[in-house]
Copies of this chain bind each other. A is one copy, B any other.
Amino acid sequence: MIKKLVIFGVGLIGGSLALALREAGYCQTIVGCSRNAAHLQKAVDLGVIDGFTLNPQEAVQDADMILLAVPMGAMGKLLPQIKQAMPADAILTDAGSTKGSVVAEVERVFGKDFARFVPGHPIAGREMSGVEAAIPDLYANRRVILTPLPYTDPDAVVAVETMWKVTGAVLESMPVELHDQVLAATSHLPHVLAFSLVDTLLNLPMREAIFRYAAGGFRDFTRIASSDPVMWRDICLTNKTAILEMISKLQADLSEFAALIEQQDGEGLHTRMSRAKQARDSYITYLENGKTDK
């Protein structure tokens, strides 16, 4: 049970958490805080939060759990205000897609051994964003990755785990750096590729024909290019090292592929593509055996 949950940034992510916890009766009160009164009022009207304030220091008064669900760019101004007013035993957690950067930011403001911060990343989403898109079962059977530091209080970790479990999520912990590398590979790189593919096609002289003749595969493939550019800009900025590493590896792979085509190496191409097919087919089997996210 949480007495007072404060959510900074009541959008899809924060809003869905609130709805899930509300359904389970897990919080006595849920308060929202951001810089947009209209959005926050909307969140109240939709029954997502009980009330709101535009003042971060007021928001965290008497809070026991504080969720940061704001863009990385907002953290710099926000964290000092939270630090000033949050209760000593309150827990601070977040929901961002990259962990290294938020850990660095918290360390910068709170010091290098702030034991009440539990970095977290719920791996869930929808194409739509905003509190209107929030749904209570967004996290059901989805994976939430926590990346506690060596100095993080174990009880704080347990409290954050428990909160997410109430939503139906499956919890995992891993080191900050591994998280950022894995996400760079499995999420950030595909998004960069989808954005780049659409961009490349946009710039072709035969663009009209391309729009007309693009088949279903193109639609699915580029689905993630309809993602929120603000969020993805922030991800690219905050996971810079890991993403650049992934882009570099992919470019090397593409160059090898191109060389095989240039040399008309049918066998080499077949081997490469069979290997990829096999890997992906076993991955799907793995998924269907329930061992990972849908």
Contact = CB atoms under 8 A, between A and B. Distances in A.
A258 B254 contact: no
A199 B276 CA distance: 6
A220 B217 contact: no
Contacts of A193: 193, 197, 221, 254
Give the interface size bracket for A toward B.
35 or more
A151 B168 CA distance: 65
A104 to B, nearest CB: 14
A41 B162 CA distance: 60
Interface stretch (A4-12, A16-24, A267-275): A267-275
A213 B292 contact: yes
A145 to B, nearest CB: 7
B254 A196 contact: yes
Interface string A50-94: 000000000000000000000000000000000000000000000
Contact of A280 (B174, B226, B280, B281): B226
Interface string A260-289: 111010100110111111011101101100
Contacts of A275: 199, 202
A274 B230 CA distance: 8
A266 B275 CA distance: 37
A29 interface: no
A152 interface: no
Contact of A202 (B186, B257, B279): B279
A225 interface: yes
Interface string A140-159: 00010100000000000000
A200 B250 contact: yes
Contacts of A251: 251, 254-255
Interface in A189-208: 189-204, 206
A182 B199 contact: no
A224 B221 contact: yes
Given A244-B258, A270-B233, A145 B280 contact: no
Contacts of A232: 269, 273
B257 A247 contact: yes
A123 B213 contact: yes
A185 B211 contact: no
B199 A253 contact: yes
Nearest to A192: B257
A272 B199 contact: yes
21 contacts: A123-B213, A172-B213, A174-B209, A186-B210, A186-B214, A186-B218, A187-B217, A187-B218, A190-B218, A194-B221, A195-B273, A196-B250, A196-B254, A203-B253, A219-B284, A225-B273, A226-B280, A229-B270, A229-B274, A237-B261, A240-B262
